[in-house]
Amino acid sequence: DFQRSPHIALFPSAGMGHLTPFLRLAAMLSSRNCLITLITAKPTVSAAESTHISSFISTHPEIRHLEFQILPINATNPTTDDPFFIQFEAVSRSVHVLHPLLSSASPPLCAIFSDLVVASSTAPIADDLCIPNYIVSTTSAKFLCLIAYLPVLTSDSAKFNLGCTEVQIPGLSPLPITSIPPPFWNTNHLFTAHLITNARALPKAKGIIMNTFNWFEQETIDAVSNGGVLDSLPPILPIGPLKPFSFEKDQNQYLSWLDNQPAESVVYVSFGSRTAMSEDQIRELGIGLERSKHRFLWVLKSSKVDKEDSKDLKELLGNFFLERTSNQGIIVKRWVNQEEILAHPAIGGFINHCGWNSVSEAAWQGIPILAWPQHGDQRVNAGVVEKVGLGIWERGWGWGGEKLVKGVEIGERIGQLMEDEKLRSRARKVGEEAKKACGFGGSSEKALTGIIDMVTR
């Protein structure tokens, strides 16, 4: 019955960091009696995305899939060669082809939930169909505020220039200038221009659905709710941490290896799906892991898009390293099931770039993070992690690739991550609060119920 089963279109943009939270949200809404149409653009940038979409659709037959062909990408942008930014632009430019498909949906759509990076393209469609457009943010509430305020900031060079030490967003504690992603200093940069366009569309949205929770980002969420940041911003609706859904169990060697390690003894190392460190930095990280003497599970990526690249481990790290550490840790160069790893009792710490999905997964499991942000929203996210006590962050390591961080220093920080009992118990507390937020009567659970009620009306 249409009244009781609202039909909602979910529309993620490019990259696993965007796809993952949408798939989770699709599964959560579907289990609450919503009819879901998942819109995806083809071709995808990475093989990981297309594999995950097919596997999700085959394990969730109740979810409809609407795949649309994007217009040819414009690969000659002078400001960036990042394939994900280029795809953001191409997806946005192609959205109009969805209009007839969405207007003829049966039963009619009750709402569109779209990615922040297509907000300006979906707003007119939702308007035309007279249905609400909710924006789904895949970053922290703090970084979302920076995006929302970016049109104001970038138009005021007196307050926003490289000579400042801090950036002031109304209602929030100041952001250090070093956390601002470098592309933001250039309004012509594809990423910056794209975010500014979409930030301008935010006031048209009915709400901004966030993968965070009140307790975790209290200051920011309160500030927005009390009209700080921008008057025109719609309500932000924290429903996280978004719950993972299960694919078939990963039958891989690394899981049986983990099964044989003592509780909380292993440091898990991953920098997400779109960061490849330089080969020199990879070697230093290897030295750091070895020196720390802690057990490790390292997901290694040496190419930006998919990691099934040709360089093998011997070439990257050398035979001696692999032999010396063969009893201390394992290195994998493939897509792993990160959720399953973080949930494993052997994991005691997480060296991570602070991609927001990884942060929310670590928060859910109560695993402490050694933050090593590389680009984009990650320094702002690392600040959130540090402030709430989920992890430690060595600011001096800079942005990814800015400097070569030496193995000795990395080893020391790993020791701190794995041996600090206070950090571990605070991280556990974060995990408990995350579960409270998503449990019956919790803040995230109530926000999700509220959204479903709103679109069902």
**Does the footprint of ligand BUP cover residue 444 (CB under 6 A)?**
no
Q: Does 358 bind ligand BUP (CB under 6 A)?
A: yes
Pairing relationship of beta strands 175-176 and 166-167 according to DSSP bridges: antiparallel
Catalytic residue selected from 52, 115, 194, 344: 115
Nearest distance in Å: CB 90, ligand BUP: 17
Active site residue 99: no
Strand order in the sheet with 329-332: 329-332, 295-299, 266-270, 347-352, 369-371, 391-393
With CB under 6 A as the contact rule, the residue among 12, 15, 183, 366 that binds ligand BUP is: 15
336 binds ligand BUP (CB under 6 A): yes
- Nearer residue to ligand BUP within complex by CB, 122 or 378: 378
Place of tokens 């390591």: 397
Distance CA 154, CA 295 (A): 45
Q: Which 21-60 positions form the footprint of ligand BUP (CB under 6 A)? A: none
> Is position 357 an interface residue for ligand BUP (rule: CB under 6 A)?
yes
- 126 vs 198, beta carbon nearer ligand BUP: 198
Element spanning 350, H or E:
strand 347-352
For the sheet with 64-69, list strands across it: 64-69, 35-42, 7-11, 111-115, 133-137, 207-210, 236-238
From residue 363 to residue 402, the character string flagging contacts with ligand BUP as x (rule: CB under 6 A) and all else as - is -------------x--------------------------
Q: 279 to 308, contacts with ligand BUP by CB under 6 A?
A: 299
Q: How remote is the C-alpha of 142 from its chain's centroid?
A: 13
375 is catalytic: no
Q: Taking contact as CB under 6 A, which single stretch among the options 64-72, 152-160, 355-363, 404-412 is the one that binds ligand BUP?
A: 355-363
Q: Which of 102, 110, 106 has its CA nearest to residue 34?
A: 110
Alpha-carbon span 409 to 431, nearest angstrom: 28
Q: Which 8-state DSSP code applies to residue 184?
A: G
Question: Closest CB to ligand BUP among 17 and 349?
Answer: 17
The three-state secondary structure class of 174 is: coil
Tokens standing for residue 308: 């099934």
Point out which span in 53-61, 163-171, 204-212, 270-278 binds ligand BUP (CB under 6 A). 270-278
| Residues with active-site annotation | 18, 115
Binding footprint of ligand BUP on the chain (CB under 6 A): 15-18, 20, 270, 272-275, 299, 335-339, 355-358, 361, 376
